[in-house]
Chains A and B, each alone.
Chain A
Amino acid sequence: MRWVAAAVFLAAALLTGVLVGPVDLGALAVVHATFAHIFGLHSPLSGSDDAILWQLRLPRVVLGALVGGTLAAAGAAYQGVFRNPLADPYLLGAAAGAGLGATLVAAYARNSGLSGDLLPLAAFAGAGVAVVAAYVLGRSAGAAAGPAALVLAGVTVASFFTAMQIFVQQQHVDTVQQVYSWLLGRLSTAGWREVGIIAPYAFASWLILLGHRRLLDVLAVGDDEAAALGVNVGRVRLLVVVAATIATAAAVAVAGLIAFVGIIVPHTIRLLFGGSYRQLLPLSVIVGAGFLVFADVIARTIMSPAELPIGVVTAFFGAPFFAVVLRTTRRPA
């Protein structure tokens, strides 16, 4: 039942994503043309319509689904390894690191003609450096300090990287707009190239995270008890964090910082279907993919032809939702 509902939600999102736009393509023709492309057959659409579908809408929808599924799964995984309902994929400083990387490129390499290629790369590297720094710092507090030390290290690293980012930005005020639009997240530049950048990371991380779904349930009973059940807690935490972080960094590199997906989606699933990671992780991938595609449809239609940053849409729905989560998760002790 829950699987059917999630699959229908994703299918509806994908179809809405390719159908909604200034040019009406027709649902049947779109599905037909999509399969025609995949299997190398002749597309029923006219040349320009076919280009709209294949070059503009489809890569954007696919990218949205990959980014959404990745952020939701990474968020769920972070919440699991840190046993912290507020954990999101950016918890260990990935956002701040990516922000610094992007800002450095915008400030120092903007006239090199390479900034379009360099920016995702720098964001990816920045996110990686920040998380590694947080992990090393957190571990130096000793394994006994547990997940709390890691979270504090993440906060520390994030503040430091954000401070550096703001400093660089202040020195190069002309970069503010480019950095700002990047920080709010966007899928508007989506093409198959972006899909190609994130796809391997997304699929690899989904595979690793889903492989850990049972072990994340074990971690939920605490580090000591998990260890007493024969689990190497440190290794599980490291593997999950690495997988979630690489995927998050890839998502950030192609789509900027899209807030709240990693929190809203897993928590909705917890409320509706329970908190076991056996269901939570796969459902997060499916529902997260659908959610971000829907959010993108809203982002590009609500003020059409102008586009709203997708991070604004997810946060606009995310903040009220968060209030609901906080209220409904208040249970008698």
Chain B
Amino acid sequence: MSALALDSVSVTLGGARIVESLGAAVEPGEWVALIGPNGAGKTTALRAVAGLVGYDGAVTILGDDAAALSRRDRARVLALVPQVPLIPGDISVREYVLLGRTPYLTYFGSERRRDHDAVDAALEQLDLLALEHRRLDTLSGGERQRATLARALAQDAPILLLDEPTAALDVGRQQQVLELVDSLRTQRGLTVLSTMHDLTLAGQYADRLLLLDGGLLVAAGAARDVLTRSLISEHYGAEVALVDTETGFVVVPVRGGTIGNGA
């Protein structure tokens, strides 16, 4: 059984077709990245999976039709980390991470022991215990990103949706966040679906890539099958060189397209 399955999912926003008959599956424990040029529909596809936009077609989460799941049940299996999380500056890290327990609480309910235990575990795993009483607006960008990830972890959902997890981070922080996601995936057995704009990082970290353009799925598979000069040239309008290094696959933009040996 796939962790996530999309069957001809289409999304129309304001009369415009943003995602067109998207079909894809993500297996348990897998990391799949949605890539594509700006406006390709990556984020909208992710939001459809999260149930934040209406769609035609079917999304199946761990064998259940997503449309039939209640909000709370969906939030127990899917945790979403948005590209630019809205950070309420004047609450503490712990109070923020506690929000991740919302799907387990009744409407007027408050947290119990096991909720605090889940928060403790998430804070510890993301090395935030020393910061738990700090206000969010006193944290650095990297620390905030970790706090948002901790909130998602506290949700105890087997599937993690990440929208551009490395946006606005420097190259070192990008690697740290992705390494972190990868180790969490291994430790907790998570399934990850993320959108990513950096093709090199997408190729290095994700097991499979789904290339979207104009709302259509145009290529899918391992990095070396999707990140080809012709596909990138066709869909990004970019001239790139592809370097297969010992430690990973690198996509380098080049001027004039005269360099590069293909892959």
Contact = CB atoms under 8 A, between A and B. Distances in A.
Specify whether A and B are partners: yes
Interface of A: 83, 211-212, 214-215, 217-218, 220-222, 224-225, 227-232, 270, 274-276, 278, 331
A225 B75 contact: no
A230 B99 CA distance: 11
Contacts of A331: 89, 137
Contact of B95 (A227, A231, A232, A278): A278
Given A230-B70, A230-B74, A275-B90, 6 more contacts: A227-B51, A228-B51, A230-B75, A274-B90, A275-B88, A276-B91
B212 interface: no
Interface stretch (B3-11, B79-87, B236-244): B79-87
Contacts of B103: 229-230
Interface in B44-59: 47, 50-52
B102 A230 contact: yes
A324 to B, nearest CB: 16
B263 interface: no
Interface of B: 47, 50-52, 70-76, 78-80, 82, 85-92, 95-96, 98-100, 102-103, 105, 107-110, 135, 137, 155
B204 to A, nearest CB: 27
A221 B95 contact: no
Nearest to B69: A230
B90 A217 contact: no
Contacts of B95: 217, 274, 276, 278
Contacts of B155: 229
Contacts of A83: 86
Nearest to B99: A218
Contact of B91 (A215, A228, A229, A274): A274
B66 to A, nearest CB: 13
A71 to B, nearest CB: 21
B91 A217 contact: yes
A221 B88 contact: yes
Contacts of A221: 85-88, 96, 99
Given A225-B82, A228-B52, A228-B75, A270 B99 contact: no
A222 B102 CA distance: 14
B135 A274 contact: yes
A276 B111 CA distance: 15
A225 B78 contact: no
A211 B47 CA distance: 30
Contacts of A214: 102, 105, 109-110
B72 A224 contact: no
Contact of B71 (A215, A224, A232, A276): A232
Contacts of B74: 230
Nearest to A278: B95
A255 to B, nearest CB: 29
A222 B163 CA distance: 15
Contacts of B80: 224-225, 228
A231 B71 contact: yes
A215 B99 CA distance: 9
Contacts of B135: 274
Given A217-B91, A228-B50, A231-B102, A222 B86 contact: yes
Contacts of A278: 95
Nearest to A210: B108
Contacts of B99: 217-218, 221, 229
Contact of B76 (A211, A212, A227, A230): A230
A328 to B, nearest CB: 11
Nearest to A233: B71
B52 A227 contact: yes
Nearest to B13: A144
A220 B102 contact: no
